[in-house]
Amino acid sequence: MTEAVIHASDSDFEATVLQSDVPVLVDFWAPWCGPCKMIAPALDELAGDYAGRAKVVKVDVDQNQATALKYHVRSIPMLLLFKDGQVQATQIGAVGKPQLAQMIDKAL
């Protein structure tokens, strides 16, 4: 069984992401966003590939505007890599799985 992508909200973002003991790749997305849907399969694969070493978390910007505002999410998809509660890397726009894996690898 592979690890699944975790869905975080304003209320549990801190516990899920900022207090994580492993690096966390956060995808700020929305259901109506085409490019967000394009990268979803890659994120699902990464969640399995890095199970136990890193987490992949999705935050729906429509439902969780406080978190989106806090991290200045102006265009989606926007991916932030967190380690020890701090943003280590940012990627705006849809990219392939290799680029996303590289973001995670740098934090491991």
Candidates 8, 17, 25, 36; catalytic one: 36
33 is catalytic: yes
10 Å CB burial of residue 89 (0-12, 13-18, 19+) is: middle
44 is catalytic: no
Residues 62, 5 contacting (CB under 8 angstroms):
no
85: left (phi over 0), alpha (psi -120 to 50) or beta: left
Candidates 24, 33, 46, 73; catalytic one: 33
Give the list of residues 6+ apart from residue 51 with CB closer than 8 angstroms, or none: 2, 3
Catalytically active residues, by annotation: 33, 36
